[in-house]
Structure 1
Amino acid sequence: MFIALSDHNCQFYFQNTSVLENHHWRSCIALLQQSGVFNHFDKKTWEQVEWQLRSLILATDITRQQEFLSRFKKYLDDPNFDFKNNFEQRHFMLQIALKCADICNPCRDW
């Protein structure tokens, strides 16, 4: 939100949608590619890793907080919720964990 309100040029790259988060995931991917740490992955595996990182990082956008909280409550109320055996639910739980870490960061005592 700050980047969009401050007229930073990054806002134009990401169409004013999750600007900071888009910048973070693209920077993450660029660093991973430059480091070569995943060079041994085949194309399909790399695309899956990239998708998961993008999805996880974009989930930290605070403007989507209510969406995630509603979905989280729905999962918790579902007796068939099984994140251990369901990829989609497991990925969602990773998003929630990252959101919790992201939200609590400003609360740290500096």
Structure 2
Amino acid sequence: AVHGRRLSPYAYNRGGGADRIAAEEAAQLARNELAAALRPWRKKFPDMRVDAQVILESPAPALLHGTANAELLIVGRRPRGHLLPPRIGHVVQAAVHHAPCPVAVVPFG
């Protein structure tokens, strides 16, 4: 499971680098969110091993970098409702076009 988190503008110092404390706070928040999202699935499938990664960059590149050795990438997409045509977001589009492995797009929500 990969969670990409772009740092907020306040996390950068005048030299253009990221402030270490702000980056660690953002990473911890992202780890907490990822753990909360995985919690029900870990409970339902306790024998399934999950490698949870937080990558501090935009979600689409983080997903692609985090799946360099994957055999299958599964990405979710939120359905828009029965009256609107289906569409995918920029993260799913990047995965479909640039992933180094097969991609399964699964509607959820």
TM over 0.5: no
Report which structure shows greater RCO (CA 8 Å, sep ≥6): 2
- Greater fraction of residues in strand: 2
TM-score by length of 1: 0.30
- Greater fraction of residues in helix: 1
TM-score by length of 2: 0.30
